[in-house]
């Protein structure tokens, strides 16, 4: 699954949760936390595997349920003690959603359920080949994705992805464009204090 797909899943689920439970849109901190956490497993594992060769594949420590659950609990406890429990919940939800999203993605794309991708170190995922470096591997994989998009004959899965992306963008706007909203407010404060 691509990082932006993880970010979309994390944001949509947390926003819907926030509306249902808190009757409120996510704050900028919550939106940032859920999006950052939803891509964090890839930010940990992909460079360590592809660039530095620490792991055999891009599914290791960051994708491990044995790391993810304690991390979500620790961040949640720290956020709660800092008076930001909703941000801690957003982080935990974003991070933990990454794991089943990858399992579902491997099923949709490859036709098999790969639970092993979240069981490191109990069941490490073997390498599927030689990696050049992080940017080389990303470019290679993104090239395939880009070719499918530019070919014009999109699969049902690609149409579904585009539909979810548009829906997420509309939901983000409905929520008041969190993060961007706080950034613009901060810029206005700086500009008004300079007068």
CA distance 84 to 76: 9
Question: pLDDT band at 77, cuts 50/70/90?
Answer: very high
Express each pLDDT in 87-106 by its tens digit. Answer: 999 999 999 999 999 999 99
Which one, of 63, 64, 43, lies nearest residue 134 by Cα? 43
Instruction: Supply the pLDDT for residue 106.
Output: 92
Which one, of 81, 73, 113, 88, lies nearest residue 34 by Cα? 88
In this predicted structure, the answer to whether residue 69 has a pLDDT above a threshold of 90 is: yes
Compute CA distances 122 → 58, 59, 118, whole Å: 15, 12, 9
Instruction: Supply the pLDDT for residue 129.
Output: 66
CA distance 109 to 158: 11
Instruction: Supply the pLDDT for residue 130.
Output: 67
Structure tokens belonging to residue 125 = 């995922």
CA atoms within 13 A on the CB side of 25: 14
In this predicted structure, the answer to whether residue 84 has a pLDDT above a threshold of 90 is: yes
Kind plus residue range of the DSSP H or E element containing 16: helix 3-17
Instruction: Supply the pLDDT for residue 150.
Output: 83
CB atoms within 10 A of CB 11: 24
Please identify which residue in the block is written with the tokens 């470096």.
Answer: 133
The pTM (predicted TM-score) of the whole model is 0.90
Instruction: Supply the pLDDT for residue 151.
Output: 84
Express each pLDDT in 115-167 by its tens digit. Answer: 999 999 999 998 866 666 777 878 877 887 788 778 877 888 888 889 999 99
CB atoms within 10 A of CB 19: 15
Average confidence (pLDDT) over 73-91? 98
Express each pLDDT in 22-47 by its tens digit. Answer: 999 999 999 999 999 999 999 999 99
Instruction: Supply the pLDDT for residue 47.
Output: 93
């Amino acid at each position: 699954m691509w990082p932006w797909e993880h970010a979309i899943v994390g944001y949509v689920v947390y926003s819907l949760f926030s509306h249902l439970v808190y009757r409120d849109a996510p704050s900028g901190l919550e939106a940032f936390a859920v999006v950052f956490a939803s891509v964090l497993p890839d930010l940990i594992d992909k460079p360590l595997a592809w660039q530095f060769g620490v792991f055999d594949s891009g599914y290791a420590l960051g994708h491990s349920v044995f790391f993810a659950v304690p991390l979500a609990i620790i961040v949640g406890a720290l956020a709660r003690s800092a008076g930001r429990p909703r941000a801690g919940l957003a982080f935990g939800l974003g991070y933990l959603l990454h794991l089943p999203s990858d399992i579902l993605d491997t099923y949709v794309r490859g036709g098999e359920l790969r639970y092993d991708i979240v069981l490191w170190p109990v069941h490490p995922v073997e390498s599927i080949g030689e990696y050049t470096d992080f940017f080389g591997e990303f470019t290679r994989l993104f090239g395939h994705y880009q070719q499918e998009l530019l070919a014009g004959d999109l699969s049902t899965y690609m149409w579904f992805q585009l539909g979810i992306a548009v829906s997420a963008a509309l939901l983000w706007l409905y929520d008041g464009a969190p993060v961007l909203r706080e950034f613009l407010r901060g810029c206005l404060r700086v500009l008004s204090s300079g007068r």
